Structure 1
Amino acid sequence: MSCFRSAPLTTLAVAAWLSLAASPSLAEDAPVIGLITKTETNPFFVKMKEGAAEAAKAKGAKLLTGAGKADGDNAGQVTAMENMVAAGAKTILLVPSDSKAIVPAIKKARDKGVLVIALDSPSDPPEAVDALFATDNYQAGVLIGQYAKAALAGKTPVIVTLDLFPGHPVGAQRHNGFLKGMGLAAPEAKSNELGKGAEIVCMADSYGDQAKGQTAMENCLQKAPGVNLVYTINEPAAAGAYNALKKAGKEKGVVIVSVDGGCQGVKDVGAGKIAATSQQYPLKMAAMGVEAGVTFAKTGKKPSGYTDTGVMLIADKAVAGVNSQTVAKGTELCWGKK
């Protein structure tokens, strides 16, 4: 089922639900579960959707999917949530684009008895949802920070950070974890403020997008032509950074580290475009969410608190003192079930 866009969400959400309800392979009382991601195009969320669909089929559940038009599109996610509740969803799995702005919509759904589970990104405050299934994003940052420090081999770091956008918890956790891994001053794990040490010569928002990442890197190169280390929020942003560096003839002198561990990202590690990436497992997040939704429908039992879905460092070249896995291992596991 394709993800929804914000304008026609009501018609499509109801139509999709009716289509699933009419399927002879699903019982009349099959639980209805909604999945709302940040976008429908980012490969990370495509894989998450595949995981939810696979689990829903196995568990005999009806799955609705929706997404914002772009990272940060809270209005699109609110509309998707409202339509899913109207279509009978008793569980909604949500990757919040705006962790604070989505909270009133979450409260309305929960007040109607809907189980709301955050995937990948926490709500703000975290207790606004029933549970969170996600990577430890701070630890993901720590791992690539440790690798980057070793890869620089004693060179003074001259850092560009291509972040998500201001105020997002995941963006802050990865950024600050990276600084912690580098051994630099960093805010605590729960802070939504980005660390801004003197070693960082340029910070820019990429919105996790390749084209925006390339533009941001091009702008940062104007300010900091001597950059030797680039932290990126995800692998599409890393690909954009690499393109900008290659265009400027600087790709061989800069270490790029990232987070996600998607299949294309792992290929980019193998090709030398990205030095290392922290791999996470969106298929596992989604499958766990669907399973929790089915259990809730059958027993009324709700999950609670935070469940760590795992993270692993993938690098083509091992460095002393930092535990990493090979590109072959990363390819085997890319975004699947760890």
Structure 2
Amino acid sequence: MRTTSRASRALVCAVAASTALTLAACNRSSDSESGGDGEAAVGVALITKDSTNPFFVAMQEGAKADATKNNVKLTVASGKQEGDDQGQITAIEDAIARGDKGILITPMSTGVNAAIKKARDAGLYVIALDTPPDPADTVDITFATDNREAGKLIGQWAATQMAGKPATIALLDLFADKIVSVDYNRDQGFLEGMGIPVNDPKKNGDEAKTGKYSAAGGGDYTIVCNEAANGAEDGGRTAMEKCLAKNPNINLVYTLNEPTAVGANAALKAANKTAVIVSVDGGCAGVKSVTDGVIGATSQQYPLKMATQGMEAIAKVARGGEKPTPDAGLDFKNTGVALVTDKAADGVESITSEEGSKICWGN
């Protein structure tokens, strides 16, 4: 069920408190490790998938703000766009050549694994942010949202909105030609949340195209399409147009992220169609889309926590401190997720868009 207003406020305050504690820890670290004892700055590279997606922009800005507090010499780099493996590979090689102590990376795909191994072999401590690599031990550790759980939350919520009615589903994924954990975990998590059986949990599109969803009382489902939108608004619109051409009666749309959702909504409006749209990210623009009714529900993640906690970890390790360890039952450090919606659903814990706007990121 929806959290009570008291519990919701507690969740918001907990996230804010976590951020405050992180900043306080940064200040303490700076004072003790680099404030007056003359310790050298630690070179760290932050390598995101691109520098335009609000999620990665927020991550970069958070890391830049935190670098001085940890006496970190930060270099920010990225691919040119989603899918640019070579851009990330070049940035990794540059970090090795500079003699950096560590790398924070949102890995593009398995195509960058060899370069990450090269960095670790050279002695750099590598932390993945947001996107756990495949396999997970490609990096030293990952700081990320539990993307499977994020997908399950929006799937559970979506099933309550269908309320036993036939669900005619469009799945707007990330790539068609690359395997990325964030892609299959969100897609497969959504299906599992709906109560739709999956086959290979690391492969999109191999589930039965028709059958029964079992969550929230259950009903019939039809999966119309799995279309790649490349995480972008224009990609979301094009992907949705392709899906509508296959079946104009789509009433439920899963989107990998909120820019994709906005594009999908534009395509639906142009076709004079409506559908329930769910997504993942929780940026301020996405939360506003929930407020405006464009997105029914989104799973909010916290990129600033990923970047700042990862930055602190590398600085600590470089100075001889303890290495971070995964959370219990996971192979990564979980930085949290909360479902944001203004339509409460029994059995699905959530916060409102007003509450989500207090802890969102980006513009």
TM-score (norm 2): 0.82
For 2:76, the equivalent position in structure 1 comes to 65
- Separation of aligned partners in 2, 1:50 and 1:194: 35
Please say if residues 133 and 180 of structure 2, whose CA atoms lie closer than 8 Å, have aligned partners that are also in contact.
no
For 2:273, the equivalent position in structure 1 comes to 250
Task: Map 1:8-19; keep pairs closer than 5 Å.
Answer: none
- Separation of aligned partners in 2, 1:315 and 1:38: 28
For 1:50, the equivalent position in structure 2 comes to 61
Please say if residues 176 and 188 of structure 1, whose CA atoms lie closer than 8 Å, have aligned partners that are also in contact.
no
Please say if residues 317 and 323 of structure 2, whose CA atoms lie closer than 8 Å, have aligned partners that are also in contact.
yes
Amino acid at match of 2:106: V
Task: Map 1:59-138; keep pairs closer than 5 Å.
Answer: 59-98=70-109, 100-138=110-148
For 2:184, the equivalent position in structure 1 comes to 172
Task: Map 1:201-216; keep pairs closer than 5 Å.
Answer: 201-216=224-239
Please say if residues 200 and 206 of structure 2, whose CA atoms lie closer than 8 Å, have aligned partners that are also in contact.
no
Displacement after TM superposition at 1:88 (Å): 2.5
- Separation of aligned partners in 2, 1:194 and 1:282: 28
Question: What CA deviation, in whole Å up to 9, does each residue of 1:163-209 have, x standing for no partner?
Answer: 011421111000000001101112465x2444533221111000101
Amino acid at match of 1:94: I
- Separation of aligned partners in 1, 2:346 and 2:273: 25
- Separation of aligned partners in 2, 1:294 and 1:28: 11
Secondary structure of the corresponding residue to residue 203 of structure 1: strand
Of residues 301-310 and 109-118 in structure 1, the stretch that sits farther from structure 2 once superposed is 301-310
For 1:16, the equivalent position in structure 2 comes to none
Aligned match for 2:208, one of 197, 203, 207:
197
Secondary structure of the corresponding residue to residue 298 of structure 2: strand
Secondary structure of the corresponding residue to residue 321 of structure 1: coil
Distance change >3 Å, CA 187–CA 282, structure 1 → 2: farther
Please say if residues 130 and 303 of structure 1, whose CA atoms lie closer than 8 Å, have aligned partners that are also in contact.
no
Identity of aligned residues (%): 51
RMSD: 1.7
- Separation of aligned partners in 1, 2:72 and 2:94: 18
- Separation of aligned partners in 2, 1:193 and 1:161: 9
Please say if residues 287 and 357 of structure 2, whose CA atoms lie closer than 8 Å, have aligned partners that are also in contact.
yes
- Separation of aligned partners in 2, 1:201 and 1:194: 10
Please say if residues 205 and 226 of structure 2, whose CA atoms lie closer than 8 Å, have aligned partners that are also in contact.
no
- Separation of aligned partners in 2, 1:228 and 1:192: 24
Aligned match for 2:340, one of 305, 310, 314:
314
Displacement after TM superposition at 1:81 (Å): 0.8
For 2:20, the equivalent position in structure 1 comes to none
Number of residue equivalences: 308
Secondary structure of the corresponding residue to residue 102 of structure 1: helix
Question: What CA deviation, in whole Å up to 9, does each residue of 1:76-135 have, x standing for no partner?
Answer: 00001111221221110010011x211111111111110000011111211111001000
Displacement after TM superposition at 1:314 (Å): 0.2
Structure 1 gap segments, 5+ residues each: 1-24
Of residues 124-133 and 268-277 in structure 1, the stretch that sits farther from structure 2 once superposed is 124-133
For 2:154, the equivalent position in structure 1 comes to 144
Secondary structure of the corresponding residue to residue 54 of structure 1: helix
Structure 2 gap segments, 5+ residues each: 1-34, 210-221, 327-331
- Separation of aligned partners in 2, 1:318 and 1:188: 32
- Separation of aligned partners in 1, 2:355 and 2:104: 29
Please say if residues 45 and 75 of structure 2, whose CA atoms lie closer than 8 Å, have aligned partners that are also in contact.
yes
For 2:197, the equivalent position in structure 1 comes to 185
Amino acid at match of 2:157: Y
Displacement after TM superposition at 1:302 (Å): 2.7
